Amino acid sequence: MKEIPVKAMDEKDLEFIDALERINVPRNVARLITYLKDVREAQSREIELATGLRQPEVSIAMRTLREHGWINEREVKGPGKGRPMRFYALRTPIEEIVKHYEEEARTESARSMGAIQRLRELSAT
């Protein structure tokens, strides 16, 4: 069996994940973004080991990053038969990803405040 070095998440990473989750980023997506922001590139298996996510969870979270255009993917054919290895890297700087979620939070907050204001108006009549 081949050993691969994997960056371990530290306390700061866990805090980053928690902050993303508090602004309604799904847990798996938050873990994936947090891991990828600090590595040049990672194989799917490395991501699973470092984040504690199972392969299907990584795939689902990766779909979100793909839909936003935040991820680069490349395949490398391994020796012999079998599936090629997939490597992933963030295409978008983490600051832009955070800005995206900041804008989403502002939009949601404005929508909620509009609804509250409307409730006040309706209850005053």
DSSP the chain: ------PPP-HHHHHHHHHHHHTT--HHHHHHHHHHTT-S-EEHHHHHHHHT--HHHHHHHHHHHHHHT-EEEEEEPPSSSSPPEEEEEESS-HHHHHHHHHHHHHHHHHHHHHHHHHHHHHHH-
Q: How far apart are CA 69 and CA 87, in angstroms?
A: 15
Q: What's the maximum distance between 2 C-alpha atoms anywhere in the chain?
A: 76
Over residues 30-84, the pLDDT tens digits come to 999 999 999 999 998 899 999 999 999 999 999 999 999 999 999 988 777 778 8
Cβ(5)–Cβ(39) below 8 Å: no
Average pLDDT, the chain: 91
User: In the chain, what are the domains?
Assistant: 11-92 (1.10.10.10)
Compute the average pLDDT of residues 82-108: 93
Q: Tell me the torsion sign for CA atoms 30, 34, 40, 45.
A: negative
Which has more pLDDT, 100 or 86?
100
